[in-house]
Copies of this chain bind each other. A is one copy, B any other.
Amino acid sequence: MRQASGEIFVDTTGPGLVEITATVRRWIEAQRVTTGLVSLLCRHTSASLIIQENAADAVREDIVRWLGWVAPDDAPFAHDEEGPDDMPAHIKAMLTGVTLSIPVLNGVPALGTWQGLFLVEHRHAGQRRRIALHLMGE
């Protein structure tokens, strides 16, 4: 049993899902661990990590649309000094979560056929996002 730590960077261009499955797979492959547990932490409070459908683009657009319905920019939030999209972004990040731990089998995350790993950007402006990675196994 051994472990590895790492970090990946994801550039975003405003609200939306950015698939990171291939990037995470490559990182695991480089650690030469075939069975174990991989953990991801999005190191921000206005972006998050989800496992979602990897096929239909419309699903990703609907997710962004739905998040805007439940946490709209014009909701009467007290915290607005960083812009109208800041507090909704915190809510969306909380709802969807910033951590994921996924079993690894045969050197890859044990995702289902239709599952992909995505970073979700919740701010209007593009950002460089950092994700901490940890792998334990053998």
Contacts and interface: CB of A to CB of B under 8 A. Distances in A.
Given A79-B56, A79-B58, A133-B103, A43 B94 contact: no
Contacts of A30: none
Given A1-B3, A110-B132, A59 B90 contact: yes
Interface residues on A, range: 35 or more
Given A51-B98, A103-B132, A132-B110, A115 B43 contact: yes
A63 B75 CA distance: 12
Q: Is the interface of A mostly helix, strand, loop or mixed?
A: mixed
A90 B3 CA distance: 33
A91 interface: yes
Copies assembled: 3
Given A2-B1, A35-B5, A66 B91 contact: yes
Interface string A22-59: 00000000000001110101011100001111001011
17 contacts: A36-B134, A37-B37, A41-B102, A43-B115, A44-B112, A45-B114, A52-B90, A52-B94, A53-B90, A58-B78, A62-B79, A62-B90, A94-B96, A99-B100, A103-B134, A105-B132, A136-B136
